[in-house]
A and B are shown apart, each in its own frame.
Chain A
Amino acid sequence: MIDWGWIARHLDDIAAATSAHVALTAVAVGGGLVVSAVLALLIHRYRRAYGPVTAISGLIYTIPSLALFALLVPITGLSFLTAEIGLVGYTLLILVRNIVAGLDAVPPEAHEAATAMGYSPAGRLWRIELPLALPVIVAGLRVATVSTIGLVMVTALIGEGGLGQLMLRGFTLQNYTAVGVGTVLSVALAVMADLLFIGLLWVATPWRRARGR
């Protein structure tokens, strides 16, 4: 069933597809995090922005991915940029919501104490609020990353796709080994990304590990 010979002969292609997949995902989640952080801080400062921002990012989220790429292609062409605009757009809803929820969950008395002891607003955000919001933010990053790894597959239809490209060709040429390799590797990527975030959070939040009195 599985053509091991094909795999051996195409290790280069598989590696290239995998690294393209990782790059598409990393740029999408990284870019999404930057855009979401800006939007979330805007909401944190001006609460009235919460409704409009989540409405728009929610609207983007409801557009079927294929339709979104179809809309973008006439503007930005069959390109990496087109793929990323779509992928970043899909991360916004979950990331904005989680960053805002994380900042909202900072204990009000810690916030008040920080202000009263002479933290500047930026210093307070950086040293007190963001560290305390980190667990909720990372929870959002995990969901966004895993769903992006899946969505990257769809961008094969506009000439990108990483492992999706490998699978698409496999379907066309009835090469089910290629399809199987793409499936297994994308699942492996998702699991590894999730474990990576769990590990990073564990390292970054020593206070959550301290037990007892």
Chain B
Amino acid sequence: MSQPPERGRGAATVAFEHVSKRYGVGRDGRGAVNDLSLLVPAGRICVLVGPSGCGKTTSLKMVNRLIEPSAGRILIDGADVAGEEPIALRRRIGYVIQQVGLFPHQTVGQNVATVPRLLDWAEDRQRARTDALLTLVGLEPATHRERYPHQLSGGERQRVGVARALAADPPVMLMDEPFGAVDPIVRERLQNEFLRLQADLAKTIIFVTHDVDEAIKMGDLVAVMQDGGTLAQFGSPREILANPASDFVARFVGADRGLKRLSLTRVRDVQLRAAATVRAGDEVAEARRRAAADRFGYLLLIDAADHPIGWIEGRDLPAAGHVEAAMAVPMSPFLEPETTLKDALSMLLGADVRAGVAVDAGGRLLGLLTVDDIAGGLEAR
């Protein structure tokens, strides 16, 4: 067994000071970023969000000097990045992009070990680190290490991309629409996994997206940018939803701002309902009694390790005998502790069910969350 990855060697603050980027020369120069100033405290996720062409990706790329600013400074822990050799700087900054950009001719293991290899780590240290990171992002090293990127699913590729960015334990990570290329259900899961990782790693992360919901969910801080590369508002998701600084911000976060506030609350923050559960092998008579006591008349079949298997409707139970796994109907996507109530609501409405099953990171039952619970909370807020 490989040891868990080293804990973050402390994140770094990232500061933009009056940063501008113009393309072209003189007065005709097109402004891509205009006088951007931001302070991202160590260990926080700052999301840059805005319509396309607002300069968010340009801003991101100036941090690791893929693009050089026309004016202003970017400081990492107080040191101007312009004073550092770009190649050394980039090896200390993790980088994840939407298209992932895995090297197609290298195995998953070689991809993850990219920066350690560039830093000339010893082979066995590279290997141990690679395995630990694959485990961290939920990929079994033995089965994935020797595969090539084209042999992975989109979600697996994204996980490898995150593992690769974390390989040399960088204090700062840049993520440009990292979950943009996968379907909504996989995206929701990757977001949750990433938030769980970040809770342990506490990296300083600059995260670009055009999706307001993702910004609100992922960001400790959100910077809303608008055309011409100006900063429209910078603050916590709660502040931005409660007090949009301008008409632009109000329009951008959307008329459903009230509904979006559901994104500020996660499944782990609310009181879940206990489910009426049953296990295979239980007496039918007992199961009937429990179903009768349940509000909806449904039983949740769980296995010996508390993993939910499916629903059994009380009146479908046979007259006598024992409960069998085959009686259960498989269920809709699970809710995770990191799932926002907004996502939970849309998942429940999408699956046309009244109650969602919440599970922990190990897939064990936590409880039930109903549409009514979510709606009730909305009124209370």
Where the two chains meet, the residues of A that have a C-beta atom closer than 8 Å to any C-beta of B are 107, 109-110, 112-120, 123, 128, 131-132, 205, 207, 210-213
Contacts and interface: CB of A to CB of B under 8 A. Distances in A.
A25 B89 CA distance: 47
Interface of B: 64, 66, 87-91, 95, 97, 99-107, 114-115, 118, 147-148, 150-153, 164, 174
Given A110-B104, A207-B105, A117 B95 contact: yes
Chain A CB within 10 Å, residue with most, of B95, B101, B115, B118: B101
Contact of A132 (B66, B105, B114, B148): B105
A119 B164 CA distance: 14
Contacts of A132: 103-105
B64 A116 contact: yes
A117 B147 contact: no
Given A117-B90, A118-B90, A210-B150, A110 B102 contact: yes
B136 to A, nearest CB: 18
A212 B151 CA distance: 6
B118 A109 contact: no
Contacts of A114: 101, 103
B151 A112 contact: no
A205 B105 contact: yes
B91 A117 contact: yes
A26 B301 CA distance: 72
26 contacts: A109-B97, A109-B101, A110-B101, A110-B103, A112-B66, A113-B95, A113-B97, A113-B102, A116-B174, A117-B91, A117-B115, A117-B118, A118-B87, A118-B89, A118-B91, A119-B118, A131-B105, A132-B103, A132-B104, A132-B105, A207-B105, A207-B107, A210-B150, A211-B151, A213-B151, A213-B153
Contacts of B106: 207
B152 A213 contact: yes
Contacts of A112: 66, 97, 101
By Cβ-Cβ distance, the 4 closest A-B pairs, closest first, are A113-B101, A118-B91, A109-B101, A109-B99
A207 B64 CA distance: 30
Given A116-B66, A119-B87, 11 more contacts: A107-B99, A107-B104, A112-B66, A113-B101, A116-B64, A116-B174, A118-B90, A119-B118, A131-B105, A207-B104, A210-B147
Contacts of B148: 207, 210
A133 B113 CA distance: 22
B56 to A, nearest CB: 16
A99 to B, nearest CB: 17
A123 B90 CA distance: 14
Contacts, number: 70
A212 to B, nearest CB: 6
Contacts of A128: 103, 105
Contacts of B99: 107, 109
Contacts of A120: 87
B126 to A, nearest CB: 14
B151 A118 contact: no
Contacts of B118: 117-119, 123
A119 B66 CA distance: 12
Nearest to B61: A116
A116 B95 CA distance: 7
A116 to B, nearest CB: 4
B264 to A, nearest CB: 32
Nearest to A115: B66
B115 A118 contact: yes
Contacts of A118: 87-91, 115, 118
Contacts of B66: 112, 115-116
B216 to A, nearest CB: 27
A109 B87 CA distance: 18
B177 to A, nearest CB: 12
A112 B99 CA distance: 10
Chain A CB within 10 Å, residue with most, of B95, B103, B118, B164: B103
Contacts of A113: 95, 97, 100-103
B179 to A, nearest CB: 15
Nearest to B165: A117
Contacts of B107: 207
Contacts of B100: 109, 113
A38 B100 CA distance: 31
Nearest to B161: A113
Contacts of B89: 118
B60 to A, nearest CB: 10
A87 B237 CA distance: 68
Contacts of B103: 110, 113-114, 128, 132
A33 B288 CA distance: 80
A179 B152 CA distance: 56
A131 B153 CA distance: 23
Contacts of B114: 117
A109 B105 CA distance: 14
A128 B99 CA distance: 17
Given A116-B95, A119-B118, A210-B147, A107 B101 contact: yes
Contacts of B87: 118-120
Contacts of B164: 117
Contacts of A207: 104-107, 148, 150
B254 to A, nearest CB: 30
